[in-house]
């Protein structure tokens, strides 16, 4: 999991309305609707918005392990939850925060360490992980950027980590043919072999990335693609941090560090198995017998 730095999330809470307007402009839907579509939720939107509104309570629990707490990270998560319509409280770090969340009657816990970023339901014990949620959310954005026209179209997926694999799987579900590229060709081949209609990139498939009008960038390699390497009008969804593509009038780009994946995680955990038909980042846990 890529560790964010304070500059990645500085002012994110204030930027959420602007991000929402950008998402509406390029994909035609807001953050909550995007998360619901990514989860393939059966619930109607009025029910989903009702679920996210009060009294849904989310406890954001900082974690001091590893390299420690990222300044502003918990505040950014709380702002995203509030933007979605829920209520968020930032608890004490580590185990004490989990105890406080239960005492306060929180529905969900959001917590992150150097290795894991999860949303857990205290009611069902279900866990949604950020890597798969982010990949699925950004794949769904690309689908709407393309106005739903992905069937049998090749999409270049840059990066075969958890985000890239999840994105490629969801793109395949949406009818696309993912072409997976990774600096480790074996990793790309393994990822493609596990996904229907996916192939690892090979030189005969075109020049990276200029021959691909649809790109999902999940490589976390900063600034490796100059503007001129991208064909005019290309649609790019870029969850990778740091960003490989910078904003340009040459192409259409959706790139942000946190809100998309967090929204999918929160809604996935809140809905539980009854509301999500398919979500590779969603892991049900059996409640203990009483």
What are the extents of the domains in the chain?
Answer: 6-130+259-283, 133-254
Range from 122-126, 199-203, 262-266 that averages highest in pLDDT? 262-266
- In the beta sheet, which residues pair with residue 96? none
Fold of 133-254: Rossmann fold (3.40.50)
Q: What is the pLDDT of residues 210-253, one digit of tens each?
A: 889 999 999 877 667 778 888 999 999 998 667 777 888 899 99
Helix, strand, coil proportions of the chain in percent (round to 5)?
40, 15, 45
Residue, of 276 and 110, whose pLDDT is higher:
110
How far, in Å, CA of 161 to CA of 220, rounded? Answer: 10
Across 15-30, average pLDDT: 94
**pLDDT per position as a tens digit, 170-180:** 999 999 999 99
**% pLDDT > 90, the chain:** 55
**Predicted pLDDT of residue 1:** 54
- Check whether the bond before 139 is cis (ω within 30° of 0): no
Cα 193 from Cα 211, distance rounded (Å): 23
Tell me which fold the domain 6-130+259-283 belongs to: Rossmann fold (3.40.50)
* Angle of CA points 6, 122, 137, to nearest 5°: 50
Domains 6-130+259-283 and 133-254 share a fold: yes
Q: How confident is the model at residue 286 (pLDDT cuts 50, 70, 90)?
A: very low
pLDDT band, very low/low/confident/very high, at 287 (cuts 50, 70, 90): very low
Query: So what's the pLDDT on residue 158?
Result: 92
Give yes or no for residue 282 having a pLDDT over 60.
Answer: no
Q: What is the pLDDT of residues 179-190, one digit of tens each?
A: 999 989 999 999
Q: What is the mean pLDDT of residues 94-108?
A: 89
Q: Residue 41 forms beta bridges with which residues? A: 276
Q: Are 38 and 264 in contact (CB under 8 A)?
A: yes
Position of tokens 């600034």?
A: 223
């Amino acid at each position: 999991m890529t560790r964010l730095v304070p500059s990645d999330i500085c002012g994110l809470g204030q930027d959420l309305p602007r991000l929402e307007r950008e998402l509406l402009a390029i994909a035609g839907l807001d953050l909550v609707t995007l998360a619901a579509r990514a989860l393939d939720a059966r619930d109607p939107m009025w029910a989903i918005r009702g679920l996210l509104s009060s009294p849904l309570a989310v406890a954001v629990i900082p974690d001091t392990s590893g390299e420690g707490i990222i300044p502003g990270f918990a505040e950014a998560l709380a702002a995203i939850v509030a933007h979605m319509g829920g209520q968020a409280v930032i608890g004490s770090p580590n185990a004490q925060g989990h105890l406080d969340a239960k005492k306060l009657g929180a529905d969900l816990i959001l917590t992150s360490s150097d290795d894991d970023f999860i949303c857990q339901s205290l009611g069902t014990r279900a866990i949604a992980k950020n890597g798969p949620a982010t990949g699925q959310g950004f794949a769904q954005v690309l689908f709407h950027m393309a106005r739903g026209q992905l069937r049998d179209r090749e999409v270049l997926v840059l990066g075969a980590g958890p985000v890239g694999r999840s994105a490629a799987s969801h793109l395949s579900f949406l009818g696309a043919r993912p072409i997976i590229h990774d600096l480790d060709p074996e990793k790309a081949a393994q990822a493609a072999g596990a996904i229907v209609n996916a192939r690892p990139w090979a030189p005969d498939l075109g020049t990276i990335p200029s021959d691909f009008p649809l790109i999902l960038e999940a490589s976390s390699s900063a600034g490796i693609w100059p503007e001129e390497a991208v064909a005019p009008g290309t649609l790019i969804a870029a969850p990778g941090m740091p960003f490989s593509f910078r904003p340009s009038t040459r192409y259409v780009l959706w790139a942000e560090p946190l809100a998309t994946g967090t929204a999918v995680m929160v809604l996935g955990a809140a809905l539980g198995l009854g509301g999500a038909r398919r979500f590779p980042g969603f892991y049900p846990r059996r409640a203990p017998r009483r």
